[in-house]
Amino acid sequence: MAFESKIRPITWENGKSKMLDQTVIPYEYKYVEITSGDEMFNAIRNMIVRGAPAIGIGGAQGIVLYAQEGANKFSNVADFKSWLLEKADYMATSRPTAVNLMWACDEQKKVINNSVSDIQGLIKELTDKAIDIELDDINRCKAMGDYGAEVVPKGARILTHCNAGALATGGYGTALGVVRSAFAKDNTVQVFADETRPRQQGARLTTFELAMDGIPVTLITDGMCSYFMKKGMIDMVVVGADRIAANGDTANKIGTYTVAIAAKYHNIPFYVAAPLSTIDISIATGDEIPIEERAREEVTHINGKIICSDKVNVINPGFDVTPHDLIAGIITEKGILRPDYNKSIAEVFNRS
């Protein structure tokens, strides 16, 4: 059962990408138009659009934008295609950790390689694929939500980290998709949202979208999670994912690993919710997942104001990897995968 969100963070309109600027929420709620491939590359890199599935949609749209630009430069389809394949590879490097971006760029590369159309025909095929990836994501998240809702106890207090909601996807959410579907069945469930330093996606985005949809949410700072777990105030944890290895090791926003350890210690089930496009079966373990290093200012500043000595050393990894043995289940659009993940992940890919 779906509890729709009003948010559509990224859509395709009149030959352009229309995206919600997530860098200004909650102060402003404004859409920006992205009209070129390079603008899309920067919008992804600078997190105007963010969240693994949403940047996948952005990448797919960015390749359409490059194709529209290239149409004026080439008359020969073969030259156009090889130029566009290079642009697709470039788009896939706009952020390194979330594999949905590489997956969506690969989907567009398949369209380019398989097309027998002329240049305008190929642009239409790429546009259709980008729209399909966006709409398909919403359906996958709803399916995930319904599977996930089955393991949410009545009246559950669900802890989440970062934002894995409508804002991070086509418009329903992975972890928050589970919350939405659970809330549709039982409106006594509630969310505890970690603030998620340094970019504060939990405070700025998760509380924003849940409050907008009338789902009860309590904001806590990152260090508080074990305090509330010990007090018996958290029944389960559900987070999203940026990349899952073949053995179930899961990269998600920095701080997720700490939450998983605390959950294990307190016997609280820790779930990951992610579409199959987040699972990278080409890598055996989480050690192979590239971790994005972000700017020092994200740590040294809050709202443009420095909060420490300007001489301090800073290291700012954007993600960490939660080992598979801390994960009770991986909620996908094909059902909930359980340990042994090497087996359950291989099986679901063989069926798909």
Residues that are catalytic: 242
Q: Which of 96, 253, 263, 270 binds ligand MRU (CB under 6 A)?
A: 253
Sign of CA dihedral 73, 79, 84, 90: negative
Amino acid occupying residue 339: P
- For residue 168, give Cα distances in angstroms to 76, 109, 115: 38, 23, 30
Please give the size of the binding site for ligand MRU, defined by CB under 6 A.
17
Binding mask 141-180 for ligand MRU (x = CB under 6 A): ---------------------x-x---xx----x------
Environment class of residue 317 by beta-carbon count within 10 Å: exposed (0-12), middle (13-18) or buried (19+)?
exposed
How far apart CA 51 and CA 68 sit, in angstroms, is: 26
Query: Judged by CB, which is closer to ligand MRU: 52, or 210?
Result: 52
Q: What is the DSSP letter of 198?
A: T
Q: Does 250 bind ligand MRU (CB under 6 A)?
A: no
Segment contacting ligand MRU (CB under 6 A): 3-11, 49-57, 215-223, 336-344? Answer: 49-57
Q: Does 50 bind ligand MRU (CB under 6 A)?
A: yes
Question: Shortest approach of ligand MRU to residue 87 CB, angstroms?
Answer: 22
Q: Does 237 bind ligand MRU (CB under 6 A)?
A: no
Contacts of 181 (CB under 8 A, 6+ apart): 1, 2, 3, 142, 145, 146, 148, 149
How far apart CA 130 and CA 106 sit, in angstroms, is: 12
Query: Judged by CB, which is closer to ligand MRU: 22, or 108?
Result: 22
Query: Judged by CB, which is closer to ligand MRU: 70, or 198?
Result: 198
Contact (CB, 8 A) for 57 and 20: no
Contact (CB, 8 A) for 34 and 17: yes
Q: Does 318 bind ligand MRU (CB under 6 A)?
A: yes
Q: Does 101 bind ligand MRU (CB under 6 A)?
A: no
Environment class of residue 155 by beta-carbon count within 10 Å: exposed (0-12), middle (13-18) or buried (19+)?
exposed
How far apart CA 249 and CA 64 sit, in angstroms, is: 33
Characterize 230-257 residue by residue with b for buried, 16 or more Cβ atoms within 10 angstroms of its Cβ, and e for exposed.
Answer: eeeebbbbbbbbbbbbbbbbbbbbbbbb
Taking CB positions, which residue lies at the least distance from ligand MRU? 240
Question: Shortest approach of ligand MRU to residue 308 CB, angstroms?
Answer: 22
Q: Does 252 bind ligand MRU (CB under 6 A)?
A: yes
Q: Which of 52, 65, 91, 112 binds ligand MRU (CB under 6 A)?
A: 52
Segment contacting ligand MRU (CB under 6 A): 5-13, 68-76, 125-133, 236-244? Answer: 236-244
Q: Which of 19, 64, 91, 98 binds ligand MRU (CB under 6 A)?
A: 98
Segment contacting ligand MRU (CB under 6 A): 45-53, 79-87, 283-291, 332-340? Answer: 45-53
How far apart CA 270 and CA 262 sit, in angstroms, is: 10
Residues that bind ligand MRU (CB under 6 A): 50-53, 98, 162, 164, 168-169, 174, 201, 240-242, 252-253, 318
